[in-house]
Copies of this chain bind each other. A is one copy, B any other.
Amino acid sequence: MSVSLRPAEGVGNWLLDGLPEEGFERLRRELEPVTFALGEVVYESGGRMGYVYFPTTAHVSLLYTMLNGTTAEMGLVGNEGVVGIALFMGGDTTPNRAMVQGAGDAFRMKAKSMQTEFKRGGDFQHLLLRYTQALITQISQTAVCNRLHSVEQRLCRWLLMTHDRTHTDELQMTQEFISNMLGVRREGVTHAAHNLQSLHLISYVRGRIKILDRKELEAQACECYAVVKEEHARLRGWVARE
Residues of A within 8 A of B (CB): 62, 64, 66-67, 70, 72, 74-75, 85-86, 88-91, 94-96, 119, 121, 126, 129-130, 132-137, 139-144, 146-148, 182-184, 223, 227, 231, 234-235
Contact = CB atoms under 8 A, between A and B. Distances in A.
B231 A95 contact: yes
Contacts of A94: 133, 136-137
Task: Pick the most buried of A62, A96, A147: most chain B CB atoms within 10 A of its CB.
Answer: A147
A86 B133 contact: yes
A74 B140 contact: yes
A18 to B, nearest CB: 12
List 4 A-B pairs, minimum CB-CB distance, nearest first. Answer: A143-B143, A147-B183, A146-B147, A89-B133
Contacts of A144: 64, 66, 72, 74, 146, 183
Contacts of A121: 119, 121
A75 to B, nearest CB: 8
Contacts of A147: 72, 146-147, 182-184
The copy count of this chain in the complex is 2
Contacts of A126: 90
B129 A72 contact: no
A218 to B, nearest CB: 15
A52 to B, nearest CB: 14
25 contacts: A66-B144, A72-B143, A74-B139, A74-B143, A85-B133, A85-B136, A89-B132, A90-B133, A91-B130, A91-B133, A91-B134, A95-B141, A95-B227, A95-B231, A96-B140, A119-B121, A136-B136, A136-B139, A139-B139, A139-B140, A140-B143, A143-B146, A144-B183, A147-B147, A147-B184
Nearest to A88: B129
A50 B96 CA distance: 33
Task: Pick the most buried of A130, A143, A146: most chain B CB atoms within 10 A of its CB.
Answer: A143
B64 A140 contact: yes
A122 to B, nearest CB: 10
A29 to B, nearest CB: 23
A135 B136 CA distance: 9
Contacts of A119: 121
Contacts of A64: 140-141, 144
A112 to B, nearest CB: 17
A135 B129 CA distance: 14
